[in-house]
């Protein structure tokens, strides 16, 4: 299963939609959003794509009630998890959180195959050594809104555990 990983859309629905459309054209079947969505209208255009979207909030909460409301009306497509999410997709344990320092800590436990975070607006793919003697992928897709950094998103292949960062064409 391929996934699209985004973060820090900061109300830029146009860039978020462009990133998810590009990832879908590469085979992505699910979207993971690592926070700082701000308003529910940022996610609304994704509904037409029909892909499940898992969302956590970040430090820029915007209107959580509206996000919960959109999720409730989305017929299961948008799942708003609150501060973090513990998921299983394609047999992989995945954790979503906004803050990189929490992401590093959760990756270090070895309890997850993949930990995704945002906040820093700096895209990074890291194989984090863990307490179980292995390594956990820690993926920060950067800022899909392009704030203080290029507009980026990540695509991951959960079968191969391979991840790439992509920049939106300007």
State which CATH number among 3.50.50.60, 3.90.1570.10, 3.60.21.10, 1.25.40.10 fits the domain covering 2-167: 3.60.21.10
What is the model's pLDDT at position 41? 95
- In eight-state DSSP terms, residue 139 is E
pLDDT of residue 170: 64
* Domain boundaries, given as residue ranges, for the chain: 2-167
pLDDT for the residue 61: 84
**Per-residue pLDDT reduced to its tens digit, 77-136:** 999 999 999 999 999 999 999 999 999 999 999 999 999 999 999 999 999 999 999 999
Which residue in 57, 58, 50, 41 sits closest to 20, CA to CA?
50
Q: What DSSP string runs through 75-88?
A: TTSEEE-SSEEEEE
pLDDT tens-digit map of 38-88: 999 999 999 999 999 999 999 998 888 999 999 999 999 999 999 999 999
């Amino acid at each position: 299963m391929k996934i699209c990983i985004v973060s820090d859309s900061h109300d830029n629905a146009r860039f978020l939609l462009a990133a998810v459309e590009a990832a879908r054209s590469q085979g992505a079947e699910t979207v993971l959003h690592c926070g700082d969505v701000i308003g529910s209208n940022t996610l609304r255009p994704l509904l037409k794509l029909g892909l499940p979207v898992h969302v956590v909030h970040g430090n820029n909460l915007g209107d959580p009630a509206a996000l919960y409301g959109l999720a409730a009306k989305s017929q299961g497509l948008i799942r708003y998890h609150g501060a973090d999410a513990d998921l299983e997709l394609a047999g992989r344990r995945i954790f979503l959180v906004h803050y990189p320092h929490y992401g590093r800590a959760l990756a270090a436990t070895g309890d997850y195959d993949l930990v995704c975070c945002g906040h820093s607006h700096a895209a990074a793919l890291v194989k984090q050594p863990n307490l179980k003697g292995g390594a956990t992928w820690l993926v920060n897709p950067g800022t899909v809104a392009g704030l203080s950094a290029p507009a980026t998103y990540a695509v991951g292949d959960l079968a191969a555990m391979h991840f790439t960062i992509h920049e939106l064409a300007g």
